[in-house]
Structure 1
């Protein structure tokens, strides 16, 4: 599909040079860049980033907090 977009001159010039150096059409560069951007910012990517953060951080609760929470919850009617 053809799309008309506006980009700042410096971005266009950098993209033009980048595509030329790699021997690919400018439209292919823009399509690949958009595809990569969507992959990095879509819901799956956000979930993956959150999983990496949670995998690297300790998530164990402090024992005193667990006891306090349990004490409060024992009086609750479920």
Structure 2
């Protein structure tokens, strides 16, 4: 798909330099950058959803589990 967009001259120049250094076309460079950006932000969306789910869950240990866990730890003198 073809698109038109406006970006600052400095960013364009940096992208051109990077594309030449990597030996990739402008289209490939921009597509890769956009794909990375989308993936990064989708990951944040998943994290936000998981945070929302776990925010409603009780994270405390029940008393029996807490006692068993405490017994399993070695006794060290500080």
Instruction: Report the count of equivalent residues.
Output: 54
Shift of residue 48 of structure 1?
Answer: 4.4
> Moved runs in structure 1, 4+ residues, more than 2 A?
47-51
Unaligned runs of 5+ in 1: 52-59, 62-78
RMSD value over aligned CA atoms? 2.4
Alignment TM-score, normalising by the size of structure 2: 0.58
Matched with 1:23 is 23
Q: 1:41 to 1:9 in 2, by over 3 A?
A: same
**Are 1:36 and 2:36 counterparts?**
yes
Which structure carries more relative contact order (alpha carbon 8 Å, separation 6+)?
2
Q: Which runs of 5+ in 2 are unaligned?
A: 51-58, 61-78
Question: Quick one: distance in 1 between partners of 2:10 and 2:32?
Answer: 19
